[in-house]
Amino acid sequence: MKTAKTINTQRSAITDIATILVGALLQSAAMRLFLIPGMMVSGGISGAAQIVQSFTGWPIGVMVMFGNLPLLMLGWRYLGGNRFALRTAAAVVLFSLFTDLLVPVLPREGITGDMVLQALYGGVMLGAGLGLVYRGRGTSGGSDILGRILSRQRGISMTQAYVITDGVVVLASGFVFGWERALYSLIVIYVSGLAAELISEGNRILRTALIVSNHPETVSNRICTVLERGVTILPGSGAYTAQPRPVLFCVLTRAEINILKTIVHESDPDAFMVIGQANEALGEGFQPLKRA
């Protein structure tokens, strides 16, 4: 008899695969509607396949699938074994199939001949698909795998690794498709990265506040009652005066910052406050803390 944990695991796996499927479909549609007609590359194996296809006429999806096989093997060895390989393989196979199967369905010339629209809408759609693949705990294969391996094995940052792997493809596209289209390809890569981050992690940008006040109880009580946010009081001391100076720490949304400033000013006009940015908050009052 299946346990509740087993059922939840199976449901999670099904949800992940469904999310990856939709993400792969969006990526393929972006390729067929905008990037391939506009001769713009997004880097990685798919971009290299576009360049090769311009000379040989070979199907892009088939080349993407075979081009990812050695990288999938490397990823299986260095990046997490079966758990990594299965979801990434699903993303690669689905993307490859959709890219070729959509050929008779979608117009070969795309839906616009404007290169600006092709770069922007292609980048957004491609990034949205990639973000869904990430949410399904997969990767897009190609330069994503190579970038992570370079990062782990050579100590190169992920940003530098992506610049290296995608930069080579964009440089090659400049010789084949022209440098103007290569410049638009850089816009595609940038826009798709922003869209992928927004879809995969959500709009969770928050604000953190550190407050040094002579009236910590008054300030913290008003934050708790007016904003209904928790406050942590950290022990501190002034370096110059050597006097104890408690430090208040709290996390808020962007919309609550102006209210916080008003609360602090009214409670202690002489307080010192630093406002920072947090990418994500997990736990009570925010996103539930759960296993990724």
How buried is 141 (Cβ within 10 angstroms: 0-12 exposed, 13-18 middle, 19+ buried)? buried
Give me the domain span that covers residue 175.
4-201
**pLDDT (0 to 100) of residue 5:** 57
**pLDDT of the residue at 135:** 84
Single residue among 167, 201, 235 that ends a domain in this structure: 201
270 and 181 both lie in a single domain: no
Report pLDDT for 157.
61
End-to-end CA distance of the chain: 27
> In the chain, which stretches have pLDDT less than 50?
292
Q: Which residues contact 209 (CB under 8 A, 6 or more apart)?
A: 248, 249, 250, 251, 252, 257, 260, 273, 274, 275, 276
Residues 224 and 243 in one domain: yes
Q: Is the same domain home to 44 and 155?
A: yes
Residue from 226, 254, 224, 30 nearest 127 by CA: 30
pLDDT confidence of residue 83: 63
Q: Which amino acid is at 251?
A: V
Last residue of a domain, one of 182, 201, 220: 201
The pLDDT value recorded for residue 51 is 95
- Does 50 share its domain with 142? yes
**Any domain includes 212:** yes
CA–CA distance, 65 with 89 (Å, rounded to integer) = 9
Number of domains present in the structure of the chain: 2
pLDDT of residue 6: 63
Are residues 135 and 184 located together in one domain of the fold?
Answer: yes
- CA–CA gap between residue 221 and residue 231 (Å, rounded): 9
- In a domain, residue 290? The reply is no
CB of 107 closer than 8 Å to CB of 11: no
pLDDT of res. 170: 93
- The confidence score (pLDDT) of residue 241 equals 81
Residues 281/287, Cβ–Cβ less than 8 Å:
yes
pLDDT at residue 74, as a whole number: 78
